[in-house]
Amino acid sequence: MMLGEFGRTPRINNYGGRDHWPQCYSAVVAGGGVRGGTVYGVSDQIAAFPESDPVSPEDLMATMYDLLGIDPATIVHDQLDRPLRLADGRVVRGLL
């Protein structure tokens, strides 16, 4: 799994660069049960916003745990004994 924490603005700024853009970005997911050659989700015409089948980082984490045979809903406790779910996302079955 390879992704960044944000995409880049779909338009060049006044300084000739592109700013951070968390609304739409790409990820590469391969191996471990992922169906090869799959393109999942569609952005709008200028790659500014997801148009269909959006996937969050939490969804990718849930999918990764699922592929590892670990229930993403598993509860773990931090050092203060607070319950935390491994992943709050949904498993992206369309990638499998």
pLDDT in tens, 7-54: 888 889 999 999 999 899 889 999 999 999 999 999 999 989 999 999
Reported as a pLDDT band with limits 50, 70 and 90, residue 3 is confident
Cα separation, 32 vs 69, whole angstroms: 11
With H, G, I as helix, E, B as strand and everything else as coil, classify residue 21. Answer: strand
Q: Which residue has the tokens 């592929």?
A: 67
Cα separation, 41 vs 47, whole angstroms: 11
How far from the centroid of its chain's Cα atoms is residue 40's Cα? 11
Cα separation, 61 vs 92, whole angstroms: 10
How far from the centroid of its chain's Cα atoms is residue 24's Cα? 10
pTM of the model: 0.84
